[in-house]
A and B are shown apart, each in its own frame.
Chain A
Amino acid sequence: MRFTEEDVRRVARLSRLALEPKEIEGFQQDLSQILNLAQKLQAIDTTNVEPLAHPGSSSVFLRPDVVTETDQREAFQAVAPEVDRGLYLVPRVVE
């Protein structure tokens, strides 16, 4: 399979990535190559094989559902691009 320009634009939209027009051609080629690599997997018989999501998935640890963290809003918002009175600012979403 070969990535068309439209394929790249579609995954870029899904990824929320703005691409320069000159980047698109390069990604068409690279993604096609990676996909060719991935296509080798299709030849393998995996009937009755359970997907392995995590090497340690049989023992995922759950902690008690209690509050352990203190409020550090100011420290965390100190690294935000734009905040006002404890709120993160973004362009108007609802007109």
Chain B
Amino acid sequence: MNLSDLLNQGVTALSAALGRREVSAVEIATAYLDRIEQAQPELNAFITVDREHTLRDALTADSMRAASPTQSLAGIPIAQKDVFCAKGWRTTAGSHMLENFIAPYDSAVVQQLNKQGFVTLGRANMDEFAMGSSNENSYFGPVKNPWDLGRVPGGSSGGSAAAVAAGLAPAATGTDTGGSIRQPAAWCGISGIKPTYGRVSRFGMIAYASSLDQAGMFARSAQDLAILMDVISGHDPRDATSVDRKDSPCAKELDKDIRGLRVGIPKQWFGEGLSAGVKVVVESAIQELVMMGCECVEIDLPMSEQAIPAYYVIAPAEASSNLSRFDGVRFGHRAAQYKDLAELYERSRGEGFGPEVKRRILMGSYVLSHGYYDAYYLQAQRVRRLIANDFERAFTLCDVIAGPVAPTTAFPLGSFGADPVQMYLADLYTIPVNLAGLPALSIPAGFDAGMPVGLQLIGPWWQEARLLQTAHAFQTTTDWHTKRPALYSGLKP
């Protein structure tokens, strides 16, 4: 296989080629860095690229391999969402507030990947503080969709998804608070997984809404996702919500038979609101699962339509609290002019945060303030329990849930410029999953007018292995996940 073909394959193929010593980590990293350089001016998928740093890591990976042949992942390159602190790397969270912040320590996810010898290719662009569904809220400019440069890649992990889709990286990290991995994965035609809340440590991940935030992965196949999940999963005492339990490994059980699997179809998710084009693709993907021996059952998620209102109370409330740490004193932007301490805080924050972040902080302060806390915040948490109960009931009837990821394909840049709240409504199929803390993934399922459509699979708590088995079986009989955007098929090498 020549180098160009190899770069378009995924983690599994790269690991095999490295193992056979056909190619070195330095050669692979150099080739991807060249691709990133070619694509960056129009795609803007990265905020920071540091060739020297990357090549130094690649050299280390080559020596790791030489010293210990069991290090089967050493030398695999990865793009890091710019929300994971990585020692020595500028870590901006897509914000002016952290434009000059060099992380003094590694997040748990970065640490786990580094331990295996993964090589960081660069820091992927994102919506500011992971707030957004289009990547248009980045201080460093929007990312473009590799399938159509006039469209958004989705968000908030838009840079990660676009980089993998365009062949600039075989894998990327992401975070998913309300759909920020699954929706960009769907819109860029790649595979992405959001694990069970508590499975992957949040230590060192810049917080947006702590009871919803979960780290996950993007890759070119479910098989690669399974390998990556096994690297980043596990208990971490530095995150109080990290759960201490024996994870069932994902990669080992990938080939398990899925015949007889009961696939739940939420009746509320295929009616009004779902575009006709996406509906056709998702329904035929479900048909494919049936042909593979799965059994469909209709399920009822009556509370899921309350997920968006509940989310836009809970997430801003948590954000207003989390983002109070940006005070212009210990790290981050400090205003040039102030007359006292209060003004130092207010101006540093007023200048450092963009409009969407301010909007959510203001909303959060409102719902937490005296007189509104019970009516909004506690009521939203009660509704949250009802939403989780819906899923719990559904999983007595089915093993996985299948449905759309988003109601449409990627929309044109600037579609919601004047009306940010309209954009919130498009997250109706992803947000319920975060509120309940369930694992879910998105895999390529076909196209609508040339743009990729994703199939969402949702599992019971801690059943990532089952989700990945289902996704892998689907990818064994279909080839949607191998399709690449024509615009980026000519990258050299």
Contacts and interface: CB of A to CB of B under 8 A. Distances in A.
Interface of A: 7-8, 11-12, 14-20, 23, 26-27, 30-31, 33-35, 37-42, 44, 46, 49-56, 59-63, 72, 75-76, 78-82, 88, 90-91, 93
13 contacts: A11-B366, A15-B349, A15-B362, A17-B346, A38-B380, A41-B313, A44-B383, A49-B382, A51-B382, A55-B388, A72-B105, A79-B102, A81-B333
A20 B347 CA distance: 10
Contacts of B358: 17, 19, 23, 27
Given A11-B365, A17-B350, A88-B329, A52 B384 contact: yes
A15 B306 contact: no
B329 A18 contact: no
Given A16-B345, A61-B242, A63-B237, A51 B334 contact: no
A81 B334 contact: yes
Given A11-B366, A79-B104, A17 B349 contact: yes
Given A34-B363, A41-B306, A18 B424 contact: no
Contact of B340 (A31, A88, A91): A91
Interface stretch (B73-81, B131-139, B272-280, B371-379): B371-379
Interface of B: 101-102, 104-105, 197-198, 211, 235, 237, 240-244, 306, 308-310, 312-313, 316, 320, 324, 327-334, 338-347, 349-351, 353, 355, 358-359, 361-367, 369, 375-376, 378-386, 388, 420-421, 424, 435-438, 461
A63 B235 CA distance: 12
A31 B346 CA distance: 20
Contacts of A76: 104, 330-331
B197 A42 contact: no
A15 to B, nearest CB: 4
A32 B332 CA distance: 30
A14 B370 CA distance: 11
A75 B332 CA distance: 14
Given A34-B312, A37-B312, A44 B381 contact: no
Nearest to B333: A81
Given A52-B385, A59-B244, 17 more contacts: A15-B364, A38-B309, A49-B382, A49-B385, A54-B211, A56-B243, A59-B243, A61-B237, A61-B241, A61-B242, A61-B243, A63-B240, A72-B105, A78-B104, A80-B330, A81-B331, A90-B329
A30 B365 contact: no
A52 B343 CA distance: 36
A16 B382 contact: no
B68 to A, nearest CB: 28
Contacts of B461: 55
Given A41-B310, A54-B211, A8 B362 contact: yes
B8 to A, nearest CB: 37
Contacts of B436: 55
A49 B386 contact: yes
A17 B353 contact: yes
B104, B332, B339, B382 interface centre (most CB from chain A within 10 Å): B382
B104 A54 contact: no
A74 B66 CA distance: 36
B363 A46 contact: no
B385 A51 contact: yes
B198, B362, B382, B438 interface centre (most CB from chain A within 10 Å): B362
